[in-house]
Amino acid sequence: MIVQALTFYLLAGVTLASGVMVISARNPVHSVLFLILAFFSSAGLFVLMGAEFLAMIMVIVYVGAVAVLFLFVVMMLDINFAELRQGFLQYLPVGGLVGLIMLVELLLVLGGWVIQPQATAVAAAPTPVIANVSNTEALGTLLYTRYVYLFQAAGMVLLIAMVGAIVLTLRTRSGVRKQSISRQVSRRRDDAVEVKEVAPGSGI
């Protein structure tokens, strides 16, 4: 138990420190790297809880896809981050208000645990799905039975967000070559091929 407690405090401390560095690092590339470290530490916490499937999802999906994608986008885009930080004080009151609301919510959650100590035991208790099954099978059973509508709704929200991002970034610019499938398919042979009679010994 002592080793597990020390491991938990170590991973939790690294996760919190990495989260703070994500929002405080001046270099955006460093922020993404600290985000990857936070994901790895969170995966370690999932392993301590016995949820190895969620830990692998955290490493494969978030680190292997999302965080690396963020890193490539930040490195490829030529963004003047110094210019973006000039309006920081302008949005400071709104950010402070949002942070205050989140702090009040966290205090309400902690206050509920103090008022009702049995709530902690209820939240930590495993959801009875099927006896003697792995947590991966239990998670799949929960997602596709009890929470199937919420799972589908989350998928629809992600799909709409992806389509919206594509629509917002899709713009026509002059001087940029663009492929037109309809023009390529409808092109005739006479428009693309020209047969020339070349005499022997003479050029075109």
**Is 169 part of any domain?**
no
For residues 178 and 140, what is the distance between their CA atoms, to the nearest angstrom? Answer: 43
pLDDT value, residue 160? 92
Q: Which of 98, 119, 94 is nearest to 109 (CA)?
A: 119
Is 191 part of any domain? Answer: no
Indicate the number of domains in the chain. 1
pLDDT 10s digits, 141-156: 888 888 889 989 998 9
CA atoms within 13 A on the CB side of 95: 7
Cβ atoms of 40 and 17 within 8 Å: the answer is no
Tokens of 91: 């949005």
Does residue 178 form part of some domain?
Answer: no
186 burial type by CB count under 10 A (0-12 exposed, 13-18 middle, 19+ buried): exposed
For residue 87, the model assigns a pLDDT of: 62
Assign residue 49 the CATH number of its domain: 1.20.120.1200
**Is residue 125 in some structural domain?**
no
Residue 101 has pLDDT above 60, yes or no: yes
Contact 151, 158 (CB under 8 A): no
Q: pLDDT category, 203, cuts 50, 70, 90?
A: low
- Residue 99 falls inside a structural domain: no
Average pLDDT over residues 72-94: 66
Three-class DSSP labels, 130-148: CCCCCHHHHHHHHHHHHCH
- The answer as to whether 53 is a domain residue is yes
Residue 124 has pLDDT above 70, yes or no: no
If you average pLDDT over residues 111-130, what whole number do you get? 59
Instruction: Let me know the angle formed at the C-alpha of 33 by 22 and 4, rounded to the nearest 5 degrees.
Output: 85
E runs forming strands in 32-142 = none
| 30 inside domain | yes
Q: Is 139 within a domain? A: no
- Give the domain range for residue 26: 1-85
pLDDT of 162 = 86
